[in-house]
Chains A and B, each alone.
Chain A
Amino acid sequence: MFGKLIYLIRRALRNMFQSPVLCIATVGTVTVSLCILTFFAIIVLNVQSMTRHWSQEVQVVAYLDEVPSAAQISALVQSAEALPEVVEVVYVTRQQAFAGFRDRLGDDALLLDGLDDDFLPASLRLTLHEEFRNRLGVEQVVGELKKTGGYSDFRYGQDWLDRFESLLNLLRIAGAVLGGFLLFAALFIVANTIKLTVYARREELEVMSLVGGTSMFIKSPFLIEGAVQGVVGGCLAISLSYLLFTAFLAGGLETLFLASGVAEIVFLPFFYQLLVLAAGILIGILGSLISLRKFVRI
């Protein structure tokens, strides 16, 4: 069994050395296709972290009817904090609300001159866990708070949330469709390059099947070859896109993204690099299988 595997690997290596040009061509196509895929993944991941950043804005503000006593406040805060969706509850007094409002007005703060600093209602600001920062989560929290009573009104940017969610959905669908399309295109291109290799050795394939080679025996060196080329192409794609990323893309994306308040642009995390390698292996093996189908009918 083990000896057989070694034998098949030796045949695969030998085939690669026998037609180095075709081998390099295949590795090259794998590299280029995976590079494009890698860049696409970098952009998707960074857009995702950007939207995550935006979603921090999703907050529930619950306005209080009248100025409650200290005991009432701590009871309200405690019951709000007890909700599973809630991370943090901040009590904002009338005076703090007034100060905040004045700050936001900036130069127009003069308008507020002569007004009492308690004309704004006190409120609780609730920050939610990430997975609840959407319409459903927010409405759940508001529903719970309504049951407790004591609040006059709730604000959570309903319109903004709706638009934010449809944007997220759009990004998700576009990412999946485009990513799938890129992967498919990569497979198609690589399969066509491998077809050249298979075509160059079609005599050999025919003779092997005529002298009693099984389908697995004939195909496996090509599958091993495809997998090896996939791994090599994947490694090259990751290194190449890292170089290009640090040289050009990071700067370009940064100016685009920093405007929207994202801390930093990141390269593909390690787990995703492994995924790129896996995609390379998959493309190599599937590409070989597709090309062989036409030439090996046994």
Chain B
Amino acid sequence: MIQLYNICKSYSKDGTALEDVNLKIPKGDFVYITGPSGAGKSTLLKLLYVAERPTRGQILINGQNVTRMSVAKIPFLRRQLGIVFQDFKLINSRTIFENVAFPLEVRGRKRFEVGKKVYQVLKNVGLEHKLTKFPLQLSGGEQQRVAIARALVMEPLVLLADEPTGNLDLEVTLEIMDLFKGANARGTTVLLATHDREMMRRFPRRQICLENGRLTEDWIP
């Protein structure tokens, strides 16, 4: 499903964010990516949704070589992914509804379908009563849930979540985890970058640990 071969990534000449990472993640897997701050977790995810290109090495997603993918094909790769960004990336001038509807709109879905799906997914994250609010009118945790709703609204092939529960209390974290597990049960491959030890203790899954850009541990329960 997802394969990384000898991946190196450096943003500048001196510092390297990732060094010689090799990784295989089969379809339907659920993987935590852990490690200290600055270890390269976000960088790894960015390489997967081609916001960055690796300095060296090859990445295959679903059989496609992402490293040499032409710019025109990137949107179609991203339509197979659901992404929760570490900084949410919600559009402040648009309502919650519109924010969550974006992935459907870029696919040209009909309006009634958009409305139904957006309402359903917002209900799943417990925000269906805030449809018409704007992101800045929501708390940090609520914004995070909107970002999660947007990632899940299309039932993606792969879910890439960068610290999706960073601002949430345990109760909401558990609900969100249920959503992720549900998507995983329906076949979505989940990659979850996190520091949250409590979450990993409650739902033990495969753990990949990055340190200084190197893969130091690959633990399977």
Contacts and interface: CB of A to CB of B under 8 A. Distances in A.
B220 interface: no
B86 to A, nearest CB: 13
Given A212-B76, A212-B78, A213-B106, A204 B93 contact: yes
Contact of B89 (A207, A212, A217, A298): A207
A203 B92 contact: yes
Interface string B151-181: 0000000000000000000000000000000
B93 A209 contact: no
A294 interface: no
A211 B106 contact: yes
Contacts of B51: 210
Interface string A245-282: 00000000000000000000000000000000000000
Contacts of B103: 211-212
Interface residues of B, number: 24
Given A204-B91, A207-B89, A298 B74 contact: yes
Interface string A199-241: 0000110111111111101000000000000000000000000
B93 A206 contact: no
B115 interface: no
A210 B75 CA distance: 8
Given A209-B75, A210-B83, A298-B74, A203 B91 contact: yes
Contacts of B78: 209-212
Nearest to A203: B91
A209 B83 CA distance: 12
29 contacts: A4-B108, A18-B93, A203-B89, A203-B91, A204-B91, A204-B94, A207-B90, A207-B91, A210-B51, A210-B83, A211-B78, A211-B83, A211-B102, A211-B106, A212-B75, A212-B78, A212-B79, A212-B81, A212-B103, A212-B107, A213-B106, A214-B72, A214-B106, A215-B71, A215-B72, A217-B106, A297-B71, A298-B71, A298-B74
Those 3 A-B pairs whose CB atoms lie nearest each other, nearest first? A212-B79, A213-B106, A212-B78
